[in-house]
Amino acid sequence: MRLISRLEADGFSVVASSSHNNKLLRLLDMWMTVFRHRKSCDYLLIDTYSTLNFYYAIIIGWWARRFKIAYIPVLHGGNLPDRIKSSPKKLKKYCQGAHLVVSPSAYLADQFEQAGLGSVEVIANAIDLERYRPAADKAFAPTLVWLRAFLPLYNPQLALQAFQRIQLKFPTATLTMAGPGDPQILEECQILAAQHKLNVSFLGKIDQTQWIALGQKAAVFLNTSTADNQPLSVIEAQAMGLPVVSTKVGGMPFLISEGVNGYLVSKNDPEAMAAAVMRILNSESTYKSMSEKALARAQEHAWPLILEKWKSILN
Model confidence at 27, pLDDT cuts 50, 70, 90, reads: very high
Say yes or no: do domains 2-123 and 129-301 share a fold: yes
CATH 3.30.70 fits 2-123, yes or no: no
Of the ranges 75-84, 117-126, 225-234, which one carries the lowest mean pLDDT score? 75-84
- Give me the pLDDT at residue 51, please: 83
Q: Are 152 and 226 in contact (CB under 8 A)?
A: yes
- Indicate the domain borders of the chain: 2-123, 129-301
Separation of alpha carbons 307 and 211, rounded Å: 24
User: Backbone dihedral region of 295: left (phi > 0), alpha (psi from -120 to 50 degrees) or beta?
Assistant: alpha
- Taking only the tens place, the pLDDT of each residue in 271-300 is 999 999 999 999 999 999 999 999 999 999
Is the pLDDT confidence value at 229 over 90? no
- Superfamily for 129-301? Glycogen Phosphorylase B; (3.40.50.2000)
Q: For 158-212, give the DSSP string.
A: HHHHHHHHHHHH-TT-EEEEE--B-HHHHHHHHHHHHHTT--EEEEES--HHHHH
Query: Which residues, 6+ apart, have CB-to-CB distance to 245 below 8 Å?
Result: 220, 221, 222, 223, 262, 263, 265, 273, 276, 277, 280
- Give me the pLDDT at residue 1, please: 63
- Taking only the tens place, the pLDDT of each residue in 158-169 is 999 999 999 999
Is the pLDDT confidence value at 135 over 80? no
Provide the β-strand partners of residue 220: 144
The pTM is what? 0.85
Residues in the chain: 315
- Give me the pLDDT at residue 133, please: 87
Separation of alpha carbons 139 and 275, rounded Å: 22
- Average per-residue pLDDT in the chain? 94
Separation of alpha carbons 3 and 68, rounded Å: 24
Q: Amino acid letter at 235?
A: I
